[in-house]
Structure formats: structure tokens, C-alpha cells
Amino acid sequence: MPTVAIAPSILSADFGRLAEEIQAVEEAGADLIHIDVMDGHFVPNITIGPLVVKAVKKVAKTPLDVHLMIANPSQYIDVFADAGADWITVHVESGPHPHRLAGQIRGRGCRPGVVLNPATPLSTLDYLLDEVDLVMLMSVNPGFGGQKFIESSLRKIAALRQTARERGLQLDIEVDGGVAATSIAAIAAAGANIFVAGSAVYGSSDYRATIASLRQRAEAAIWQEGI
């Protein structure tokens, strides 16, 4: 059974108190810190760069899951690896060479993952699955926190888990966007095991209770489905 991990996205944190906000979710049970890097080109928003990742690395105890939503990612793999990224995920839509990117990330000692936008078919993964440790499926259109979960993602998650099973891969399937107490059980039952949660965690008044409840719902669903 794959391990459930909850990855709060700091996109919804209070940036004026970022160090405290990171320590707070870690003390509340977070497994990873999800960092949304956006460049205003690949997505219509500008957020965090390598300097902030470096600052986060100084306070975080858990691995940094760095989600690159940028044009030309190959130019920045070294920069984010140097800044302290532990996992680096790149969009298959961000350039013609996702296969090379995965090798570049692994070559820097980071865990490579690829990300698919909601409209991108799973067939783009056919020749990539053996090169990556994880696949992240976007369940919102990337760019902003607090959006509604796109229901058709469930079918996609289930199909990817089925493919991984058929190919004998212990693939981590991460889901990003609209993960909340109301959606997480269905997402886990479909086959995901890593859950990014931005507004659901940082928008709540009790991080510990929220993370515990997300984890409990995910584990119960995965257990029932025997994923």
C-alpha cells in the first residue's frame, strides 16, 4: 500500500510570517512542504523564486516539494537544486524535453516528478513513467490557490494508478488543486497517495486538526479500496 503524505502548499500561507507558517504545519504533521514557483509566463501569476526556496530550506525540517510552473525549466533546475529543493516537479507542457529534464533533476540528487495539466492526456507519460519517481496530476488549472476541484481528475487518477499497477511500478501519484476534507476521500480512493493542500490547511484555524482529518480520510479510503 502506498504511503499517504500531506503536503501543505505555502502559496496560501501568510508570507509575512513564512518561517512560523512552515514550522506550524510541520509541527501539525505535514510530511512535505509544497512550494509553487510561478513565472507569469507559463501561468498567469508570479510567486516564489529560488531566494525564497533557500530561505524556506533554512527553517524546514521536512522535504521541499518544488513545483515548477515556469517556461524554460531546464535553465533553472540547478538553481532550485542549489536552493535546497528535495523534489522537483516539472510540467510536461513546459517544453519539448521532459525526459531530459527528469534526468537532469535526478542527476542533481533530487526526486524527479512530472506534472500534467487537467487537459493533458495520460498518453504523454507512456515513455516517461520509468524515468520519474512521481507523477503529479493537476486537479485545477495551475496559477492560483483556492480553486474548485475538477471532477474529471478522478477518472484520470484511477487510469494512472491502473497503468502503474499493470507496469509493476510503485508510483507516487500526487494530486494538486482543490484538495479538501470534502474531496480527499474520492481522490485517495481513485489511487492518489500524496495530497497537496493549500487553502484547506492554511485557511483553517487549526492546522493540526485539519491535517489529521485529511490524513485519516485519505488512509481510510485507500485502505477500503486496497490501492
The binding site for ligand DX5 (CB under 6 A) comprises 9, 11-12, 34, 36, 67, 140, 142-143, 145-147, 176-179, 196-200
Among ligand DX5, Zn ion, none, what binds residue 84 when CB lies within 5 to 8 Å by partner kind?
none
Told to judge if 206 belongs to the known catalytic residues of this protein, a careful annotator would answer no
Neighbours of 100 (CB within 10 A): 12
Contacts of 3 (CB under 8 A, 6+ apart): 193
Contact residues for Zn ion, defined by CB under 5 A: 36, 67, 176
Q: Is the separation of the CB atoms in 24 and 51 below 8 Å?
A: no
**Active-site position among 31, 36, 39, 172:** 36
Q: Whose CB is nearest to Zn ion?
A: 67
| C-alpha–C-alpha distance, residues 215 and 185, integer Å | 9
**Active-site position among 31, 39, 65, 176:** 176
Shortest spacing between CB 223 and ligand DX5, in angstroms: 23
* CA 52 from centroid of its chain's CA atoms: 18
Angle at 120 between CA 144 and CA 140, to 5 degrees: 25
Q: How large is the C-alpha radius of gyration of the chain?
A: 16
CA-based nearest residue to 4, from 181, 215, 198: 215
Nearer to ligand DX5, 171 or 196 (CB): 196
Q: Is the separation of the CB atoms in 222 and 192 below 8 Å?
A: no
Shortest spacing between CB 147 and ligand DX5, in angstroms: 5
Shortest spacing between CB 55 and Zn ion, in angstroms: 18
Told to judge if 36 belongs to the known catalytic residues of this protein, a careful annotator would answer yes
Shortest spacing between CB 226 and Zn ion, in angstroms: 28
Nearer to ligand DX5, 15 or 223 (CB): 15
The residues assigned a catalytic role are 36, 176
